[in-house]
């Protein structure tokens, strides 16, 4: 089955860009997702990208997909303290209706 890996922590200064990376193993992954979990809350979808896309941009968020290397990244421009949260990468293959989640990356934004 799918395996999704991501680093556990990232610390950035307010105003800088953050890049959170993720690798996955299933080359048939159809959808790849980024979820955000704020303290004391459930996960909320930030964005998703379909496997036939290389890039998706939504305001301060840019998702890059490298299918050859099975690598997904989330770039947050002009990172703010309100972006401090845990970010989960998830992948789902076309043959499965259940996404596999990574362990989550804790983003810490300091002044």
Partner 1 sequence: DADVTQTPRNRITKTGKRIMLECSQTKGHDRMYWYRQDPGLGLRLIYYSFDVKDINKGEISDGYSVSRQAQAKFSLSLESAIPNQTALYFCATSDFGGAGDTQYFGPGTRLTVL
Query: Which residues here bind partner 1, judged by CB under 8 A?
Result: 8, 31, 33, 35, 40-45, 48, 50, 88, 92, 97-99, 101-104
**What is d(CA 107, CA 71) in angstroms, rounded to the nearest whole number?**
19
Residue 82 or 97 with smaller CB distance to partner 1: 97
Nearest approach in angstroms of CB 79 to partner 1 is: 22
**What is d(CA 30, CA 97) in angstroms, rounded to the nearest whole number?**
10
Residue 45 or 77 with smaller CB distance to partner 1: 45
Nearest approach in angstroms of CB 37 to partner 1 is: 8
3-state secondary structure at position 83? helix
Nearest approach in angstroms of CB 98 to partner 1 is: 6
Exposed, middle or buried by CB within 10 Å (0-12, 13-18, 19+), for 109? buried
């Amino acid at each position: 089955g799918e395996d999704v890996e991501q680093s556990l922590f990232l610390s950035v200064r307010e105003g800088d860009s953050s890049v959170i990376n993720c690798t996955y193993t299933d080359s048939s992954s159809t959808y790849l997702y980024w979820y955000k979990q704020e303290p004391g809350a459930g996960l909320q979808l930030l964005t998703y990208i379909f496997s036939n896309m290389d890039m998706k941009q939504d305001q301060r968020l840019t998702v890059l997909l490298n299918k050859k290397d099975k690598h997904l990244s989330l770039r947050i421009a002009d990172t703010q303290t309100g972006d401090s949260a845990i970010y989960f990468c998830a992948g789902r293959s076309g043959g499965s209706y259940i996404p596999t989640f990574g362990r989550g990356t804790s983003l810490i934004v300091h002044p």
